[in-house]
Structure formats: structure tokens, C-alpha cells
Amino acid sequence: MDSCLPSKLLYFYFQCLVATTTIITITCSATRIQPNTQFIKTSCDVTMYPKLCFNTLSPYATSIQNSPINLAKAALTVTLKAARSTLGAVSKFSKTSNLTPQEALAITDCVENTGDSIDELRQSLAAMKNLEGPEFEMKMNNVMTWVSAALTDEDTCMDGFEGNAMNGKIKNYIVNVSQLTSNALALVKNLSSFQVYSP
């Protein structure tokens, strides 16, 4: 019986080693799965709506990593999706019955302005794909111009509903995409301070 004791102890130690290794592996894997979002949180501090910025961009942490360019691209992508969703929502309101002539005109103008905003955001994203090279500053100026124009279009859309019954129904859509656009613009401006090319 005593001769079996060393074997049992050896087996016991082996089992403990396997269990410990498994726990360490699982812990390390979990750490890799959960990316560090501190970079996003810190970067969002330059925006007017940091909480909205962090909440909408943290799901993209894996692709953003610690890259200001990827962060700005993600912000523009999120904003573009929101603008498209807003366009769909506003377009549905155009089919509402009993609209006053003023409301119908405001919705028509808003659909046009939101469509322009989408085009400008799309252009800005396209320009972000190829920032490298000596024309970095010019490209960044173009991106900022397009995003600024998109923000102006969204504000113009909202202005058209001031003082009428449709204001409350459409305001939330426009305010959301306007805040996202503002955040994206801040992150793009922040990116423009980085040198991502070789002179």
C-alpha cells in the first residue's frame, strides 16, 4: 500500500498542474478577448459629447486598437449609418397624413439636407482610406470640410421644424446624428495634428 503512495501523489500533483494551466489559459484568453478601451475613452474627451462618443465607438475597440486614424474612420462610419437611418425615418414622416404645407416643405427640405449630409460623410470616409503621402494636410482639410458641411446640413434640417408640431417627432433623430457628426469632426480635427506620412 505504501508503494502506491508516491504514484498517487504524483498523479495528484499532475492533476493540479493541469487545472492550474487551464485556469491561466482561460484567464489570458479572456484578457485578449476584451480589448483595452482606455484609448477610446481618452480620445473622446476632445469631443462635445464624450459619453456618446465612447458608447458608440467602444464596440469597435478591437479594430481601432490605439490608432487615431482607425478611431476617426470608425466615428465617420457610425455617423454615416446614423445619417442613413435618420433619412429613412424622416422619409417615413413624409407619408404622414394631415401634414400642413409648412410641415410638408420642412420634411422635403430635411430629406434633401440629410441626403447631402450622407454624400458628404461618404466622401470623407473615401478620403480617409488613403491619407498617406505628401498631400496629407490637403486631404485632411477636405475631410474636415465635408464633415463640417454634413453638420451644417443636419442643423439646417432641424431649423426647418422649429415652431411646428413635427419638431418633437423628428428632433431626436436629427439631434442624435448631429451629435455623432460633431464628435466625428472633433476626432478628425484631432487626427490632423498627427504626422502619418513621410515628407
- Cβ-Cβ contacts under 8 Å for 145 (sequence gap 6 or more): none
Cell of 66: 490605439
Residue 4 DSSP symbol: G
Cell of 98: 394631415
* 100, 164 contact by CB (below 8 A): yes
- Helices then strands (H, E): number in the chain? 8, 0
Maximal C-alpha separation, the chain = 99
pLDDT tens digits, residue range 17-28?
444 444 444 444
**Among residues of the chain, what percentage have pLDDT more than 90?**
51
Cell of 196: 502619418
pLDDT score for 119: 97
Query: In the predicted model, what is the mean pLDDT of residues 180-187?
Result: 97
Question: What is the overall mean pLDDT for the chain?
Answer: 81
Predicted confidence band at 136 (pLDDT cuts at 50, 70, 90)? confident
Query: In the predicted model, what is the mean pLDDT of residues 5-27?
Result: 48
**Cα(172)–Cα(20) distance, integer angstroms:** 52
Phi-psi category of 19—alpha, beta or left, where left has phi over 0 and alpha has psi -120 to 50?
alpha
Predicted model pTM: 0.78
* 128, 72 contact by CB (below 8 A): yes
pLDDT tens digits, residue range 166-179?
667 788 889 999 99
According to the per-residue pLDDT averaged within each range, which of 17-26, 48-57, 90-99 is highest? 48-57
